[in-house]
Amino acid sequence: MSNPKNKVLVESVNLVKEFQISGGGFLPNNKNVVHATSNVSFQIMEGETFALVGESGCGKSTLGRLLIRLLEPTSGHVEFEGVNINDLKSNEMRELRKKMQIIFQDPYASINPRMNVYNIIAEPLTTHKICATKEETMEKVKGLMEKVGIRPEFINRYPHQFSGGQRQRIGIARALALQPKLIVCDEPVSALDVSIQSQILNLLHDLQDEFKLTYLFISHDLSVVRYISDRVCVMFLGKVCEIGNTEQIFTNPLHPYTKFLIDAVPKPDPFLRKENKELLQGEIPSPVNPPTGCRFNTRCPYAKDVCREKEPLLKNIDGRQFACHMV
């Protein structure tokens, strides 16, 4: 695991993203929009792995795309090395894109099946005119292939000739091509076999140490998050519930939702699998019409009237942040 520094690389400042929807008639109080993220603020330090966790649909992937401006926010902004990237013009943003890349979840859909390995990895190099000659590009591509564990003699093969794990390695090589500072890892191992997951995680760890990378690691697998991350941000329905270092989150969670998430992780010890647990009840509220107050109040067994009426703000105590009236 990397040693996070004190320098802030990326900062999310009150990020709001709403998607306009149509059809289904009039929906009260929400102007017919999906509330994907709502006033999300946090900092990612240079050299660390910052994990985003939460149930499906909580806004993790949307937030990752907002941070590298693949999506434009409804309000709020993102600062990268102190610069508001949402104010940058297209030519300025193009230059900044060298410093931020993404590894997508699905290795079958994220690379072009009509391009061979050379063209896939070389595309960002030629787009940004990194190499002066084709020979230099070829050497760069082969070097990246070796770094991620793909044999250079496979350079002319096509994606259908590789396994899922190998395709993800190709995607990682493409993300590394421009020597970025930040890589958004959007559930990079969830589509892979368990035996391959560990190989890819170890590869990401080694690459981080070698290239001094910063990761935003998006996942719903808490065992993977505990292994690879330095700090964890827990989200529910577009809101931040809790932020803290990994051991704090897993050994002493403060927010009720964080506790339920950790309790839901199956234990490998068969004698502990049947221990009594308090299971989370109810259905996830709709992001189209989220509840008032705390968004977790409809599922929280500890909710009081204040939770239904007033939205909790993020409190900062001893380096930890959490949003709960009951803590």
- Convert the pLDDT of each residue in 229-260 to its tens digit: 999 999 999 999 999 999 999 999 999 999 99
218 has pLDDT over 60: yes
Over residues 179-208, mean pLDDT: 94
11 has pLDDT over 90: yes
100 has pLDDT over 50: yes
Looking at 56-65, 274-283, 287-296, 315-324, which range is the least confident one?
274-283
The rounded mean pLDDT for the chain is 91
| Cα 137 from Cα 242, distance rounded (Å) | 44
177 has pLDDT over 90: yes
Instruction: Return the number of other C-beta atoms located less than 10 Å from residue 123's C-beta.
Output: 15
User: DSSP characters for 155-171?
Assistant: TT--GGGS-HHHHHHHH
Confidence of residue 180 (pLDDT cuts 50, 70, 90): very high
Contact 99, 80 (CB under 8 A): yes
pLDDT of 191: 84
| Cα 189 from Cα 303, distance rounded (Å) | 35
222 has pLDDT over 70: yes
Could you tell me which of 179, 176, 13, 6 has the C-alpha nearest to residue 83? 13
pLDDT of 1: 46
pLDDT of 40: 96
Cα(first)–Cα(last) distance of the chain, in Å?
Answer: 30
pLDDT of 238: 94
273 has pLDDT over 90: no
171 has pLDDT over 80: yes
CA 295 and chain centroid, separation: 21
Confidence of residue 144 (pLDDT cuts 50, 70, 90): very high
Q: What is the CA radius of gyration of the chain?
A: 21
**CB burial of residue 157 (10 Å; 0-12, 13-18, 19+):** middle
pLDDT of 327: 78
311 has pLDDT over 70: yes
269 has pLDDT over 80: no
150 has pLDDT over 70: yes
| Cα 212 from Cα 206, distance rounded (Å) | 10
Over residues 112-134, mean pLDDT: 95
281 has pLDDT over 90: no
State residue 93 phi and psi, 5-degree precision.
Answer: -70, -35
| Cα 177 from Cα 185, distance rounded (Å) | 15
274 has pLDDT over 70: no
Residue with token string 């890892």? 185
Confidence of residue 30 (pLDDT cuts 50, 70, 90): very low
Contact 121, 145 (CB under 8 A): yes
Angle at Cα 153 formed by Cα 208 and Cα 173, nearest 5°?
25
Could you tell me which of 38, 18, 17 has the C-alpha nearest to residue 239? 38
Instruction: Decide which of 283 and 159 is more confident.
Output: 159
Torsion of CA 176, 177, 178, 183, to 10 degrees: -20
Confidence of residue 84 (pLDDT cuts 50, 70, 90): very high
Beta bridge partners of 84: 79
